[in-house]
Structure 1
């Protein structure tokens, strides 16, 4: 090991685990906390892992590096499939024309006018939403959901989401939390990990940009009429 990037480094038993965490997109804080190492050790090991991967697995190094520095946001195929599954679920719910009544089990239901998937049961006159019991129930502006969740899955930061959606900072934060809950409920833990990695890199990218004298534009539009509460949830009866 004297001529390797890990020369003179200690705790060899943790190196492979560290490499797995690093390549999986864990943040420096997460890795340092899990392995109980100092920031100095983290950066030393990180540099060593990068050198080894670049030499032994150049294709992997190229793939990982371009995403780590957000030069290429194309996810692997299985992550892309999970992203599409989330979008398809939302579109299917919003465009549904038929539903089963949760009260009587009847199928003679009619969709109410509007973007929200609200229905009325003809036999028992029950009004209901097929979003009940999901993280999206009560959220306003359904026409923004698909574009917003795509930005979330690309790892955009809260200020990015605010600028692009026209929501307030609080609304963007709450929406992001609800969509992450939805992704979890749909059973896509790998997608959640991808989002965490991409978001950490986006935050790092933005901080570096500002430190170098860059300026991030503020949101120039809002989807809310003046005087309304931004990002609020509508009441459900």
Structure 2
């Protein structure tokens, strides 16, 4: 196999979920060479690391999307964070210590007012989610995000705009990163990469089939 020096880069990129199309462009290799390396990599993992292969290959091929225990734990941390933002009813006033109550007019937003000293506080103010719309969709969005769904799929499922889907992905991942949920962020990027890879792979297979039939 030619270009042996590119093997470490290929393996590293592939294990992080980068699609074959992107790896082809990054390494400047032909699609034929990339496909052969993919087959060799999968065989090597099966032969040398059978336990890893049993878990990794189904996830790598986007057939099994069950979370690891650590990712599940970090997901629950983020969901609890959202629960606090969306459902917390009272808050200690940072100015006078009085109990602040959630403002009814703010609907789903965590906006609190102290009736003693008139201090107001929005729990979203110091987060990456500040000023984002459709708060009632955030839990559902997070689940789709963690599953690795594409922006197009998410916007279709939640009936939001494409710009909204793009913005939310960036902002939610930034918030997770700020909370130290690194395994969760890596998982999201990996699964999203695998999703894109499966779509591109299907498109390539369909194109080849059409070429053979024509």
> What's the counterpart of residue 100 of structure 2?
109
CA shift for structure 1 position 30: 6.0
Taking structure 1 as the reference length, what is the TM-score of the superposition? 0.74
Q: What are the residue-to-residue correspondences of 1:158-197 with 2, within 5 Å?
A: 158-197=151-190
| Aligned mates of 2:16, 2:201 — CA distance in 1 | 22
| Aligned mates of 2:7, 2:40 — CA distance in 1 | 10
CA shift for structure 1 position 160: 0.6
Contact 1:54–1:61 (Cα < 8 Å) also in 2: yes
Structure 2: runs of 5 or more not aligned: 208-214
User: Could you list the per-position Cα deviations for residues 123-149 of structure 1 after superposition, in whole angstroms to 9, with x for gaps in the alignment?
Assistant: 220222111111111122211100101
1:70 paired with 2:42, answer no
Choose between structure 1 and 2: higher helix proportion.
2
Contact 2:128–2:174 (Cα < 8 Å) also in 1: yes
Q: What are the residue-to-residue correspondences of 1:90-109 with 2, within 5 Å?
A: 90-102=82-94, 104=95, 106-109=97-100
CA shift for structure 1 position 54: 1.1
Q: CA RMSD in A?
A: 2.5
CA shift for structure 1 position 167: 0.4
Q: 1:38 aligns with which of 28, 40, 43?
A: 28
CA shift for structure 1 position 197: 1.5
CA shift for structure 1 position 49: 2.0
| Aligned mates of 2:24, 2:181 — CA distance in 1 | 22
CA shift for structure 1 position 16: 5.2
> What's the counterpart of residue 124 of structure 1?
117
Q: 1:54 aligns with which of 42, 46, 61?
A: 46
> What's the counterpart of residue 154 of structure 1?
147
User: Could you list the per-position Cα deviations for residues 52-101 of structure 1 after superposition, in whole angstroms to 9, with x for gaps in the alignment?
Assistant: 11112223113212112211111211111111211111112211122233
Q: What are the residue-to-residue correspondences of 1:3-22 with 2, within 5 Å?
A: 8-11=1-4, 15=7, 18-22=10-14
What is the number of equivalent residue pairs in this alignment? 201
Helix, strand or coil at the partner of 1:109: strand
Q: 1:25 aligns with which of 8, 17, 22?
A: 17
